[in-house]
Amino acid sequence: PHTMPGEEAVDPYTVDPSNAGARPFNGDAMARAFHGQDGIRRIVDRFVASNFADPRIGEIFTNQDRIRLKRTLFEQFCYILNAGCAYTGRDMKAAHKNMGVQQNDMNRLVENLQAAMGAEGVAFAAQNRLLAKLAPMRKVVVER
Ligand code: HEM
């Protein structure tokens, strides 16, 4: 499904695992390090809330569909961490098109993600392994 109840309509797109922008980890070590789907849910909720409330990048999120973002980000992280989910959202290029995201916005977003992972008690080594999966996405998210 492209949208779930409570979400705004989006233009049609093809659902594909590759839309997640990274291949999943093997095995269950990363899923355990993030405390499973419950832990990933807590991290995503905190991360999304902090981005919307952020004095530096919050403006980019204003008027965006927070319900959908929480769902698709959860799916994406859960999929990449091999915690038992499929990613059904858009690809990273389409999702961030014409948003004008700059490198410093990306840095700030990563800081918010680090804070959310830290609050969940995710070990630094595991945090960094996820961040390494996300880092190459900068090339399609950041527009100059
Ligand atoms: C590696 C970095 C990033 C990842 C993994 C990521 C992930 C995602 C995902 C999964 C979606 C939802 C896709 C969908 O709706 O189908 C999304 C949308 C969005 N992202 Fe990102 N994102 C990243 C960087 C950023 C940055 C740096 C910003 C701005 C500071 C940003 C702002 C947004 C906004 C505002 C949306 C909502 C777009 C809409 O509803 O049309 N993202 N992102």
Domain segments of the chain as ranges: 17-141
Q: What is the pLDDT of residue 19?
A: 98
What residue type is assigned to position 53 of the chain?
A
Give the distance (Å) from ligand 1 centre to CA of residue 118.
Answer: 21
Tell me the ipTM for this assembly. 0.97
d(CA 108, CA 126) in angstroms, rounded, equals: 20
**From the CB of 116, is ligand 1 less than 6 Å away?**
no
pLDDT tens digits, one per residue of 109-123: 999 999 999 999 999
Kindly give the number of the ligand 1 atom that is closest to the alpha carbon of 65. 40
**From the CB of 142, is ligand 1 less than 6 Å away?**
no
CATH architecture of 17-141: Orthogonal Bundle (1.10)
Task: Spell out a b/e string for 93-127, using b for 16 or more CB atoms within 10 Å of the CB, else e.
Answer: eebbeeeebeeebbebbeebbbebbeebebeeebb
Kindly give the number of the ligand 1 atom that is closest to the alpha carbon of 134. 1
The share of the chain scoring above pLDDT 90, in percent, equals 97
Q: Best substitution site from 75, 92, 97, 104 to test ligand 1's pocket, by max atoms within 8 Å of Cβ?
A: 92
Identify the residue whose tokens are 């990563």.
110
d(CA 57, CA 55) in angstroms, rounded, equals: 6
Q: What is the pLDDT of residue 1?
A: 65
Q: What is the pLDDT of residue 144?
A: 77
